[in-house]
Structure 1
Amino acid sequence: MTTTTQANNGPVWDWAAGHGPVTGALSATTGCLAVATTGAATGMPAGWVLTVGAAGAIGHTISSLRERLSARTIAMRSASWLIGAGWTTWAMTTGPLTWAALGSLATIGVGIGAAARSTLLFEEARELEAIAADERQVSRELSAERRAIAAEWVDRVQRVCNLTLRILAVEIWPTGTGFTIDAELPAGGTTYDRIAQHSAALSADARLPHGCTAVASQGVHQGRVLIDVTTVNVLSEERTYPSDYSALSIYTGIPWGYRTNAEEICVFLREQCALVVGPTGSGKTNMVHVILAGFARTTDVLTWVIDLNAGSAGLPWARPAFDPNGAPVDGVRPGVDWLASTHEEAARMLDAALAIGMRRKVAYQDLMAERNTDQLPISAKIPQIMLVVDEGAEILTSTDRSMKDLAKKILEVIRMLRAMGVRTVLTALGATGSVLGNLMIRREAKARVCLTGGEVEGMDLSKVFPGARGLRVDQAPYKGAGFMGTPESAAALFKNWRILPNQIRDIVHATTDMHPTLDDVSAKAGGDAYANRWAPDRTAWMRDTAHAPTAGTGAAEQPTAGRGLNLSALRSDKAAPVTDEDAAVRAFMEQIDAQFATAPEPGTEPEPSAAAPGLNLSALRDSDDDGGPTWVADAVAAIKAAGPAGMKPSAVADLVRRSRQAVRAALKAAAERGELVYRDNGPHSVYVHPDHA
């Protein structure tokens, strides 16, 4: 029986505790003495004691068998009952209080205690041995499974890649969704690329489910290779953003999704920028919200968002912090530190970022010298500014004048403010050369995401992940799924979590106390543009649900692609009458001057149109009754004279002295009418006359 120490009342008996070797022997001997004394005094028949002892021996034998105890333990328990009953019977007839009776009882007690201790140790050893045997059995079975996997993949790699591997280890993923093979490459300078380029063939040969891949990556040295084999398609299921909103740091990594082995993948953005590519419907907007959720949980990051599409990316993160009148809600801070939905506000934001970065370069020289570093030590007191620009890659490649101004400032931020803790996350609609052609984007955006959603057009993965092998768009046909690569993790399949508006609202409230405040040096550099960023007059657009943004706000200043001018020459119906004709003409001329060059094309003179004298508009120029420009006939004749070699569109443009864009459109229309044949040969594509085709 055990005791526990209590502070005020002294030792307390634990009556629920079981007997050990000492307390068990003591309990047995005192019980025998009490029964023998009582029986002798009352004249109890001695046979009753023997009957009770036999019953106890039988009961303990049955219970021990049920517990699957050893024969040694069963014999000890039965013998204890029988010896105790025998001594009690003898003591009742001869007297229990004699020295012979008491001495023999003490001897029996010592023997029972010693035997109980011995059997207890034996049972413990037996139990440990059984556990070890089970573990050895599991290990043998697991080893057998691993050996089978190793043998299977040695044959598979030999068959598909014509390489003989020496597999060193097979690690079964704890999630049960696949395994990793660690193998040694054959001698002769073989690299892991030889296996990586056959990823699709290996997956097909292994009969892996759709969405599962066999991806080869670098091992611990250049003579080793790791092959990650996914056997369960975790990309097909939708998972919500984790409900753990614990604090993060820019140094510890920010989770953006999970790999095919169901493990989270984190990005480290202290020094690098990020690029997220995804066409419409691939889950790019949801990915932006996942990114903003991660930034909202960091204690040393302030998030600035530029979204010229009415600020839709940042609105759900800002609205919970303001009431319908634009006044701040007590105890709630916006999930983003600044939101720009117009060109003017975006320009203010970028100017403030540049001013803050330049001021930090000078003001924190002593701090950097004290820390012996050439990079600003980021902390909750001096937070990093993450600039998230939705469709920012398109801004960088736009030819519009106002967009070029924003693009210039974005590039300055990327180029100049890395050490001062200002980094960017840009998104793009497609993985094409026009979007990713900027060297600054490719060089600085080390963390890259390409959401495919099954979309094939405009998804050139080699442009997003140059050098990566075995990546195919059809491996990630699910919304929110795609490929992700960072300097710490090679490009591979991943999927981001689904995050809904109600969860965004919960995150804003849960992370309010985590958000840092901009340091005084940076706040002064940001000036009134930063201090008044949430002023009611500058955030009125968030609450204006009755009207669309006007040109004065900058949200609708740019013409929509493909809309063009509302010209009467191109309208089938008459426009509404203009009450002030002079004002309408002036506005029309200003619009034309701002958006179109009216100078004649090189080598041509403006030819006034009889239908609309005045402006030399391309909509009214060079048209005939057949629906094509008048110079097409000359181009067709020249292409015919060129023979089977044909002519490139650029050569035709030089010949007819027209722009290449206009010539391509006209030649394409002529090919559709059957007047020409287009011979597609990449950069050497030509148009050929049907007589020579």
Structure 2
Amino acid sequence: MDRVISAWPDLAEAIGLAGSRIMSAVVDTWGWRALIKLRPSQSVADVIARVPAIESGLGTRPGAVRIEHDPAHAGRCTMRVLAIDPHAGAIPWPGPTSRSLADPIDLGVFEDATNVRVPLLRRHALIGGTTDSGKSGVLNVVLGNLAACSDVVLWGIDLKGGMELRPWAPCLARLATTSEEATQLLTDAVAVLDARAQASSHSNTRVWEPTPAAPALVVIIDEYAELADTAPDAMPYAESVARRGRAVAVDLLAATQRPTQKAMGGGALRSQMSVRVCLRVRERRDVDLILDRGMLAAGWHAHTLDAPGKFYIPINPAAPAHTS
């Protein structure tokens, strides 16, 4: 670490970050990390833009350097350097880690070796990624956990003839594979939502607490863009669930390869998705469509992910959370 700290001023000057300095550096599980203090007028965006040059100067493999904002100070950032790729190989699924929707589910392992624990109760979720990015694998892990919960009922929409969700049919109370069936299913989901909202009003309760007798309803939509294209009549009902469903435990889980503005309701529906999982995308702009505006510029470079199953998930939006 002393060698890295002493060499930084020359490297920083060579790549256009002259005056920045490493304040501290420590070894961690798969590499090391350093706290960098920037010169006045320099920004973390300047550091992010120079990541390829930093990797070259440090002699690392491509993709080894991560830059994380310091939420307390705009003039500081953390540089994480991975000596090895912790996600180079597939991680075997250990089986369900949740028996209730109130329990977070395990999706993988972060680069700092901590587990990715994702709460889904009263939260809508969006999983996005291009072909062969591993989207189906992530969806299957989520479904495997939800199917093991005793306080959840699962409904599915798969307008590719059930190609993705039909293997899960024994775990689904309903499966829609046509535009007409999808519209009816979402209409019925809104009816469930309205009935629960009325019941909660009469009992003076603000949120619906799922139980085996009164379970949460999770509607899984595989290839959400296909729903927008082929079943436009269903979209108002999907948007209604997104806006009003969380308090009464009627939640959406949407997966898509094409996160277009049209599919996501011009941002209105996407804004309700509090869980975002972004696998590899084909175009840089898709990062912001899946994760939120400004995430690409903040260093969430999902277009550079180099293997199926690797993804970004916002836990702390200031620090790109890269996992597999």
Normalising by the residue count of structure 1, what TM-score does the alignment of the two structures yield?
0.42
CA contact (8 A) 1:212 1:475 kept: no
CA contact (8 A) 1:247 1:299 kept: no
Residues 49-90 of structure 1: CA distance to partner in whole angstroms, max 9, x if unpaired? xxxxxxxxxxxxxxxxxxxxxxxxxxxxxxxxxxxxxxxxxx
Match of residue 47, structure 2, among 192, 195, 204: 195
User: How many residues are aligned here?
Assistant: 321
Q: Is 1:317–2:168 an aligned residue pair?
A: yes
Distance 1:237 1:343 in 2: 38
Question: C-alpha displacement at 1:429, in angstroms?
Answer: 1.7
Amino acid at match of 2:35: D
The 3 A distance-change label for structure 1 pair 280 and 413 is same
CA contact (8 A) 1:212 1:260 kept: no
Distance 1:210 1:447 in 2: 29
Match of residue 314, structure 2, among 485, 490, 507: 485
CA contact (8 A) 2:208 2:247 kept: yes
Amino acid at match of 1:258: V
Amino acid at match of 1:478: A
The 3 A distance-change label for structure 1 pair 393 and 431 is closer
Match of residue 289, structure 2, among 446, 451, 463: 463
The 3 A distance-change label for structure 1 pair 337 and 193 is farther
3-state SS in 2 of match to 1:419: helix
Amino acid at match of 1:296: A
Question: C-alpha displacement at 1:484, in angstroms?
Answer: 3.0
CA contact (8 A) 1:215 1:227 kept: yes
CA contact (8 A) 2:217 2:250 kept: yes
3-state SS in 1 of match to 2:15: helix
Question: C-alpha displacement at 1:382, in angstroms?
Answer: 4.2
Question: C-alpha displacement at 1:410, in angstroms?
Answer: 1.0
Q: Is 1:241–2:93 an aligned residue pair?
A: yes
Question: C-alpha displacement at 1:306, in angstroms?
Answer: 1.0
Residues 541-568 of structure 1: CA distance to partner in whole angstroms, max 9, x if unpaired? xxxxxxxxxxxxxxxxxxxxxxxxxxxx
Match of residue 343, structure 1, among 179, 193, 204: 179
Distance 1:181 1:367 in 2: 54
Superposed, 1:129-208 pairs within 5 Å as 145=1, 147-153=2-8, 156-162=11-17, 164-165=19-20, 167-174=22-29, 177-186=30-39, 188=40, 191-208=43-60
Match of residue 395, structure 1, among 216, 227, 241: 227
Distance 2:173 2:6 in 1: 56
CA RMSD of aligned residues (A): 3.2
CA contact (8 A) 1:392 1:428 kept: yes
**1:410 aligned partner:** 238
* Structure 2: gaps (5+ residues): none
Amino acid at match of 1:476: L
CA contact (8 A) 2:315 2:321 kept: no
The 3 A distance-change label for structure 1 pair 191 and 382 is farther
Residues 269-295 of structure 1: CA distance to partner in whole angstroms, max 9, x if unpaired? 334422222222222222221221232
Distance 2:203 2:15 in 1: 57
Residues 170-192 of structure 1: CA distance to partner in whole angstroms, max 9, x if unpaired? 34323xx1233234444x46543
Question: C-alpha displacement at 1:414, in angstroms?
Answer: 0.9
**2:125 aligned partner:** 274
Amino acid at match of 2:61: P
The 3 A distance-change label for structure 1 pair 231 and 448 is same
| More strand, by proportion | 2
**1:12 aligned partner:** none
Q: Is 1:227–2:53 an aligned residue pair?
A: no
Q: Is 1:383–2:215 an aligned residue pair?
A: yes
Superposed, 1:647-666 pairs within 5 Å as none
Amino acid at match of 2:178: T
3-state SS in 2 of match to 1:485: coil
3-state SS in 1 of match to 2:161: coil
Amino acid at match of 2:25: V
CA contact (8 A) 2:210 2:216 kept: yes
Amino acid at match of 2:127: V
Question: C-alpha displacement at 1:395, in angstroms?
Answer: 1.7
Superposed, 1:226-625 pairs within 5 Å as 226-243=78-95, 245-319=96-170, 334=171, 336-365=172-201, 368-369=204-205, 374-379=206-211, 382-396=214-228, 398=229, 400=230, 403-436=231-264, 438-452=266-280, 456=282, 460-465=286-291, 466-468=293-295, 469-472=298-301, 475-486=304-315, 490-495=319-324
The 3 A distance-change label for structure 1 pair 480 and 149 is same
Quick check: 203-212 or 228-237, which moved more?
203-212
3-state SS in 2 of match to 1:364: helix
Distance 2:149 2:237 in 1: 26
CA contact (8 A) 1:430 1:458 kept: no
Quick check: 375-384 or 438-447, which moved more?
375-384
The 3 A distance-change label for structure 1 pair 197 and 292 is same
The 3 A distance-change label for structure 1 pair 488 and 292 is farther
Who wins on radius of gyration, i.e. which is larger?
A: 1
Question: C-alpha displacement at 1:354, in angstroms?
Answer: 0.8
Normalising by the residue count of structure 2, what TM-score does the alignment of the two structures yield?
0.82
CA contact (8 A) 1:195 1:216 kept: no
Question: C-alpha displacement at 1:238, in angstroms?
Answer: 1.9
**1:131 aligned partner:** none
Distance 1:382 1:213 in 2: 47
The 3 A distance-change label for structure 1 pair 387 and 172 is farther
Distance 2:302 2:28 in 1: 25
Question: C-alpha displacement at 1:471, in angstroms?
Answer: 4.2
Distance 1:457 1:296 in 2: 33
| More helix, by proportion | 1
Distance 2:185 2:8 in 1: 55
**1:217 aligned partner:** 69
* Structure 1: gaps (5+ residues): 1-144, 320-333, 496-693
Which structure exhibits the higher relative contact order, with contacts defined as CA atoms closer than 8 Å and separated by 6 or more residues? Answer: 2
Amino acid at match of 2:215: P
Distance 2:141 2:318 in 1: 19
